[in-house]
């Protein structure tokens, strides 16, 4: 059975997604949205998987990882390093290996969410399995050192998803909106 891959990412106006190994902003409701979207399944008895780079894994406070209710897959060249701290996750040596691992687990895994960072998004954007990009557009500039790779808007169409609020969101002085892009077949 074919694997369905979605990207979920929050980016500010300069396409920034991170700084110093952390998020550049604190958006509690947006975090809840991330959690809700990546957990939601249609078939009971299945979970989704979150696929992430090693630095994104490390950016999650130890007490909150693995992300609960989801199969956590971390991509790292340190997959076989006994000193590495990957408790509660499956570690794979490449994105392709991660996808293969999850393809073998479609009886327990419904969808795969690529949750960052930059290099994982870059590969996911080119993946034959890519279905949608769930992009939170933050309408503000933040200083960042990590960025969302650009994607060709001609290859995607904006769609609505009943699970995604379509009105503008605001937390403190930060205004943002949720967008969903679907790959054109
Ligand atoms: N705004 C958002 O939505 C969002 C989402 C996620 C993350 N972030 C932010 O982004 C930053 C982290 O992202 P990042 O881009 O710096 O790092 P990352 O992609 O999370 O992790 C990079 C690491 O992943 C491993 N990796 C990636 N591609 C690989 C491949 N093809 N083969 C083998 N290993 C591979 C390597 O680990 P090894 O060095 O162990 O080999 C690499 O050093 C943080 O600031 C985080 O807060 C933001």
Q: What is the DSSP letter of 153?
A: G
pLDDT of residue 79: 78
- With beta carbons less than 8 A apart as the criterion, state whether 132 and 159 touch: yes
Segments in the chain forming alpha helices (H): 28-39, 54-59, 95-103, 118-125
Q: Whose CA is nearest to atom 9 of ligand 1?
A: 18
Packing angle, helices 95-103 and 118-125, rounded to 10: 60
Nearest of 184, 177, 179 to residue 154 by alpha carbon: 184
pLDDT of residue 138: 98
pLDDT of residue 184: 96
Q: Whose CA is nearest to atom 38 of ligand 1?
A: 76
Buried b (16+ CB within 10 A) or exposed e, 10-36: bbbeeebbbeeeebbbebeebeebbee
Residue in the block written with tokens 């989801």: 70
Q: Is any ligand 1 atom within 6 A of the Cβ of residue 23?
A: yes
pLDDT of residue 83: 66
Cα distance between residue 30 and residue 45, in whole Å: 26
User: Is CATH 3.40.630.40 the right assignment for the domain spanning 4-183?
Assistant: no
Q: Is any ligand 1 atom within 6 A of the Cβ of residue 136?
A: no
Cα distance between residue 136 and residue 181, in whole Å: 11
Cα distance between residue 141 and residue 174, in whole Å: 10
125 is catalytic: no
Question: What are the extents of the domains in the chain?
Answer: 4-183
Mean pLDDT by 10 residues, the chain (185 residues): 90 98 98 98 95 97 96 91 81 96 95 97 97 98 98 95 97 98 95
Candidate of 9, 54, 143 to mutate for ligand 1, largest count of ligand atoms within 8 Å of Cβ = 54
- With beta carbons less than 8 A apart as the criterion, state whether 84 and 62 touch: no
Q: Is any ligand 1 atom within 6 A of the Cβ of residue 94?
A: yes
Please give the full DSSP string across 59-71, using - where no structure is assigned: HS-GGG-SPTTEE
Nearest of 38, 8, 37, 13 to residue 25 by alpha carbon: 13
Q: Is any ligand 1 atom within 6 A of the Cβ of residue 38?
A: no
Query: Which residues, 6+ apart, have CB-to-CB distance to 19 below 8 Å?
Result: 142, 143, 144, 145, 146
- With beta carbons less than 8 A apart as the criterion, state whether 120 and 52 touch: yes
């Amino acid at each position: 059975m074919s694997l369905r891959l979605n990207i979920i990412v929050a980016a500010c106006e300069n396409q920034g997604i991170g700084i110093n190994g952390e998020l550049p902003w604190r958006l509690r409701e947006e975090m809840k949205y991330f959690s809700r979207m990546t957990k939601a399944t249609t078939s009971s008895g299945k979970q989704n998987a979150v696929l992430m780079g090693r630095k994104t894994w490390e950016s999650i406070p130890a007490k909150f990882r693995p992300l609960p209710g989801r199969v956590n897959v971390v991509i790292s060249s340190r997959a076989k390093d006994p000193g590495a701290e990957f408790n509660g996750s499956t570690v794979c040596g490449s994105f392709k290996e991660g996808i293969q691992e999850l393809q073998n687990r479609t009886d327990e895994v419904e969808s795969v969410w690529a949750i960052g960072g930059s290099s994982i998004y870059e590969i996911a954007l080119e993946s034959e399995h890519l279905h949608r990009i769930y992009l939170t557009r933050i309408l503000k500039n933040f200083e960042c050192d990590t960025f969302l790779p650009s994607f060709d808007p001609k290859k995607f169409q904006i769609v609505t998803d009943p699970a995604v609020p379509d009105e503008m969101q605001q937390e403190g002085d930060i205004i943002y909106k949720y967008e969903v892009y679907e790959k054109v077949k």
